[in-house]
Amino acid sequence: MTALLAQPFKLPCGVTLPNRLCKAAMTEGLADPLLRATPRHATLYRRWSEGGAGLLITGNVMIDRRVLERPGNVAIDGNGGLDELRAWARAGTVAGNQLWMQISHAGRQSPRYVVSHPMGPSDVQLDLLGGYGRPRALTEDEILDFIQRFARVAVTARETGFTGVQIHSAHGYLLSSFLSPVTNRRTDAWGGSIQNRSRFLVEAVRATRKAVGADFPIAIKLNSDDFRKGGFTHEDCLQVVQILNGEGVDLLEISGGTYEQPRLLGFEGRAEDATPRRESTRLREAYFLEYAEAIRKVARMPLMVTGGFRTAAGMELALQGGAVDVIGLGRPLCTHPDVPKQLLSGAMQEAPAYEKQLVMARSGLLSPTSPVLLLKLINVLGGQGWYYHQLYRLADGKPPRLGLGVFGSFLRYWVAELGTAMKLRRDKIGAA
């Protein structure tokens, strides 16, 4: 059943993954007040390393401490913390697996409670219930600085014991927003044609490769489609992949959607009028597998898909079909950190999917007559909060708390988020 899933996989740079399962990036929110790694990172990633996945990818590590994806992000921006990074890397590789640092800049998707004036390719504001400020357009000098920051953070990752990096260019964050005509309205060399809109990403990859050498894995997370009118399309994606073919990319993770089009959460359309995924996609488990099949036709680098995979049989079929080389898992590892080991051994045939139960309307906490937007917003954030709470418990060395309700998760999530954000502003760690 799991013949391919358990096989090693050699990357173009020469590094070999022990098996085809990857713990995909999930934002942790565990940093200390100076945005450095903590012992909780080490505890959490030791558990995941011992859980059997051949590859672990961290959550967002920010190249700019002024603009965070959320409070509690680790940042590498003149704030020290090298010993803490080394402890994290040692713990996260204890079982002989790969541990890659995901490197990111939030761009315009840094919430108001973190930063009032975020940054972007242009001054196009994120349209999501007023929770995000209007970004200012980056200058060319700032773009060039950020390119070098990606490279410097990758060097820090290598020097502190991480075995690779993933450059985040999906889900509407800074590099992703440069790719989209909706958010990138520049008329200089960084906007307009797809060649110009992808220049930031390409130059960041080139600078990173030059800085870390040929034998260090560099991955990219890329949207297959933004799923919004006038945005980064699947055709754009195919062109970007062709451009990246010559840039020494070791693994391309296929994803999709942005905060305004949350396809990564298993929905289509805007957050406020989301509908379930198409039945054909559900039957094939993975959200983006069909897109990966099309990308495979032009890509010369290995591919990974995350989102929706739950059964060992479905994962094995995806590998056998040749659409992907690595299978990404996220939420199941928040409650069962040893899911990879159990899937590989055959002790488990299907990973847990608690998200199917995390709907407040079913529990009676909100009636079917409640405002649709409120219901869906609390369901989404409550579901996220539920998984964050499980992740925190793993980081504290505790077992998961599976009986926690969605509304309680929603409240805990926001109390923690806003409390951490207030501390950052008070201590002037980020930007006001």
Q: What is the mean pLDDT of the chain?
A: 88
Q: Could you tell me where the DSSP H helices lie in 264-370?
A: 279-283, 289-296, 312-320, 332-335, 339-345, 360-363
Higher pLDDT, 230 or 364: 230
User: Quick check: 374 pLDDT over 70?
Assistant: no
- Please tell me the distance from the alpha carbon of residue 394 to that of residue 423, in angstroms, as a whole number: 24
pLDDT for 424 equals: 80
Task: Give me the mean pLDDT over the 61-66 stretch.
Answer: 96
Q: May I ask the CATH architecture of the domain 9-353?
A: Alpha-Beta Barrel (3.20)
pLDDT for 359 equals: 60
% of the chain surpassing 70 pLDDT = 87
Higher pLDDT, 143 or 366: 143
Task: Give me the mean pLDDT over the 362-366 stretch.
Answer: 45
pLDDT for 432 equals: 36
User: Quick check: 380 pLDDT over 80?
Assistant: no
- For residue 40 the two structure tokens come to 């909780």
User: Quick check: 278 pLDDT over 90?
Assistant: no
pLDDT band at 382 (very low <50, low <70, confident <90, very high): confident
Long-range CB pairs of 11-16 (<8 Å, 24+ gap) are: 11/217, 11/250, 11/251, 11/302, 12/248, 12/249, 12/250, 12/301, 12/302, 13/214, 13/215, 13/216, 13/217, 13/218, 13/248, 13/250, 14/215, 15/98, 15/163, 15/164, 15/215, 15/216, 15/217, 15/250
Cβ neighbours around 367 below 10 Å, total: 9
- For residue 374 the two structure tokens come to 């409120």
pLDDT band at 416 (very low <50, low <70, confident <90, very high): confident
**In terms of C-beta density within 10 A (0-12 exposed, 13-18 middle, 19 or more buried), how is residue 133 classed?**
middle
- Please tell me the distance from the alpha carbon of residue 182 to that of residue 195, in angstroms, as a whole number: 16
Cβ neighbours around 243 below 10 Å, total: 16
pLDDT for 261 equals: 64
Report the sign of the C-alpha dihedral through residues 261, 262, 266, 270, in that order: negative
**Residues β-bridged to residue 151:** none
What is the pTM assigned to this prediction? 0.90
User: Quick check: 352 pLDDT over 50?
Assistant: yes
User: Quick check: 269 pLDDT over 50?
Assistant: no
